[in-house]
Amino acid sequence: MLPIQAPQTLLNSLQNICSSFIWGNKKPRISCTILYKHPTKGGVGLPNLNQYYKATMLASGILLHLNRGIIQWVDMEKAQLDKNATLDYLWTPKKHRPVKPNLYPTTTLTVHIWSTFLDTVGAKEKFHPNAPLTALRAISPDMRLQTWAHAGIRHIHQIMQSQEILPFTDIQTKWELPTNAIFTYLQLKGIINTHVNKQQQSPEQSPLPSKA
């Protein structure tokens, strides 16, 4: 689905129409929280149009994770964001992302909704493990990561296990890093311990959100 900006007033109006129909144009006798909560959680299960809309827009961000050639407009958005680093851009906290002027309105909306999702998973003030190592230069601009990138280490989660950064010897053995990479490791360790939301699951364990 091509992401389209829907005015909040329209969504609120449609939600009110649904509520009025259910209650026969009378005042609701149950709180909105219970109305919208899923029946399996003790609610009524009334569709929350605002949440459905956000989930649909979030699906556009999920499409950006797929390989090229799936949907033409997705490929166009990837090209605008930098087709080789689209996911790095999405998973970098909003305040640390490079400015991307003149984006398509659909791309701007997709990125905005995705940023809202990151806020809900604790990646507003802290970095998500899916973020690229280069994003940590926002904390330490002089950090040298070329050797790590050449070894294939490009994302935070690659050097973490059980919510902690791996010992340097383990990383060095797995990716054949030179001994002098220890200084960068110590920088990364300090930053990850302070600025990364380590409560998040690994990408293999944490599925992307869906509309279900």
Parse the chain into domains and list their residue ranges: 1-12+41-126, 133-195
Per-residue tokens: 175: 């990716």
Residue scoring higher pLDDT (155 or 55): 155
pLDDT digits (tens, 9 = 90+) for 61-99: 888 877 766 677 788 888 877 755 788 888 888 888 888
pLDDT digits (tens, 9 = 90+) for 98-142: 888 788 888 888 888 888 877 776 556 688 888 999 999 999 999
Residue scoring higher pLDDT (160 or 109): 160
Torsion angle (degrees, nearest 10) of CA 69, 62, 199, 34: -160
In this predicted structure, the answer to whether residue 198 has a pLDDT above a threshold of 70 is no
Residue scoring higher pLDDT (170 or 6): 170
d(CA 205, CA 117): 17
Give Cβ neighbours of residue 69 (< 8 Å, ≥ 6 apart): 75
| % of the chain surpassing 90 pLDDT | 28
User: Looking up tokens 């398509």, which residue turns up?
Assistant: 104
Query: Which SS3 state, helix, strand or coil, does residue 115 take?
Result: helix
- pTM to 2 decimal places: 0.69
Query: Which SS3 state, helix, strand or coil, does residue 160 take?
Result: strand
pLDDT at residue 124, as a whole number: 61
In this predicted structure, the answer to whether residue 211 has a pLDDT above a threshold of 80 is no
Asked if 200 and 122 count as a contact pair (C-beta separation under 8 A), the reply is: yes
In this predicted structure, the answer to whether residue 209 has a pLDDT above a threshold of 70 is no
Mean pLDDT, to the nearest integer, of 11-26?
87
Average pLDDT value over all residues in the chain: 83
Mean pLDDT, to the nearest integer, of 4-14?
88
